[in-house]
Amino acid sequence: MKIAHVAPFAPGRCGLYETVRDLVLGERRLGHDVDLIDAGISGEGPHYGQTDGDLIAAPPPAARGADVLVTHTAPSPEILAAAGGAPVVHVLHGRPESSFRLSQAGGDSPVYDVYAGWVRAKAVARWVTLWPDHVPYWSAILPRDRLTSLSAPPCDLSRWSAEGPRHRWASPGLHNVLLADPWRAETDLDPYHLLHGLLLAAERECPGLRVHVYGMRNPLGPWEHLLGALRRAGALGETCGMMREIATRYRAADVVLTPHRIATRVVREAAACGATVVTGERSARWGSYGCDPLDAESVAETVTRAIRFPRSPDVARYDHVQVAGELVAELEVALGREVARAR
């Protein structure tokens, strides 16, 4: 099959891109002819011709002759014209609620409204979410007979593994906890409660705890006061914005902590690198342990337990070739080949 994916080309800067990268490489391993067409990033020009390992940022004409167009962001008219009417399969990366809130807030990212418009225009043959839990929410605005999910999102387990160099912390602690998620506007996804919980853990049960905070946004504003509290407790380690070479940090961390309830890039990559992962889901389906990310006491208790009893979560379900095979099966449905085989 000739497959054209449409996504922003942003190595090391965008979780969506990294997931698309895994899918493209997985589909190639399965024998398909796959291109990644650069949809661009707001405020930047195209990156046509730039490379990331075996991937090249392709221009819109690469969609010519594609059996199917897999979009991860809105395709430009040039891309759609080049695809020549090939069926479109759209992959839903974000949380339904986040998409709803973006539309609610107005601005230039009304994702929910855009999807509703695509449904009215019957522009998408198949909708695929990365998380089964999101299906009931997306089905409120997307046609149920065209909506499905993968069993889990992908991760290239040959690229992300426990084998490899470990970062040497500039100010190591007896126990090193890493926060690596990009700080987001949603109040349940920023580290406000997590940092309070880590402060409690450092003051009570985990002397020598060091908190390394990555993905920060500037200006810090009132966050500086909260980080200052950790600093005064002797618990603040490295702080910085986004970090491309993050695998060495995952391997060096005793615990990777995230507020997310789903298997984000941080969850998958950290788990693949052998880290003990604490997620924001009580049942810990995706991580080693789960806490209530909006309860500082729960965060402190769970991180303390994770430090005392480290364990890595199962990562086999994230294998990018296996997950790519699931997506290819959905592309076959969009093309009607599954029906043809059944006959």
- How far, in Å, are 180, 192, 257, 292 from residue 189 at the CA level? 12, 9, 12, 12
pLDDT of residue 339: 40
pLDDT band for 337, please (50, 70, 90 cuts).
low
pLDDT of residue 342: 39
- One-letter amino acid at 224 equals E
Average pLDDT, the chain: 93
- One-letter amino acid at 247 equals A
Distance CA 84, CA 62 (A): 11
Residue 50: what are its φ and ψ, rounded to 5°? -70, 155
pLDDT digits (tens, 9 = 90+) for 100-138: 988 888 877 788 899 999 999 999 999 999 999 999 999
Model pTM? 0.93
- Whether residue 185 has pLDDT greater than 90: no
Which residues are CB-neighbours of 105 under 8 A, at least 6 positions away?
none
pLDDT band for 87, please (50, 70, 90 cuts).
very high
- Whether residue 5 has pLDDT greater than 60: yes
- Whether residue 46 has pLDDT greater than 90: no
Residue appearing with tokens 């965060």: 299
Per mean pLDDT, which range of 30-34, 170-174, 244-248, 255-259 is the poorest?
A: 244-248
Distance CA 57, CA 37 (A): 6
Six token digits for residue 314: 């199962």
pLDDT of residue 341: 39
The predicted model gives 56-74 an average pLDDT of 97
Distance CA 240, CA 315 (A): 27
pLDDT band for 315, please (50, 70, 90 cuts).
very high
pLDDT of residue 35: 98
**Could you tell me the domains of the chain?**
2-154+319-342 (3.40.50.2000), 175-317 (3.40.50.2000)
pLDDT of residue 121: 95
The predicted model gives 156-176 an average pLDDT of 96
The predicted model gives 93-101 an average pLDDT of 90
**Which of the two residues, 305 and 220, has the higher pLDDT score?**
305
- Whether residue 188 has pLDDT greater than 80: no
- Whether residue 17 has pLDDT greater than 90: yes
- Whether residue 322 has pLDDT greater than 60: yes
pLDDT digits (tens, 9 = 90+) for 214-260: 988 777 889 999 999 999 999 999 999 877 789 999 999 999 999 99
**Which of the two residues, 43 and 75, has the higher pLDDT score?**
75
State how far Cα 208 lies from the chain centre: 31
pLDDT of residue 187: 64
The predicted model gives 78-91 an average pLDDT of 97
pLDDT of residue 42: 72
Q: Which residues of 156-174 are buried (b: 16+ CB within 10 A; e: fewer)?
A: bbebbeeeeeebebeeebe
- Whether residue 96 has pLDDT greater than 70: yes
CB contact at 8 A, 134 and 92? yes
Which residues are CB-neighbours of 65 under 8 A, at least 6 positions away?
2, 84
Distance CA 210, CA 309 (A): 17
pLDDT of residue 238: 96
- Whether residue 343 has pLDDT greater than 60: no
The predicted model gives 149-168 an average pLDDT of 96
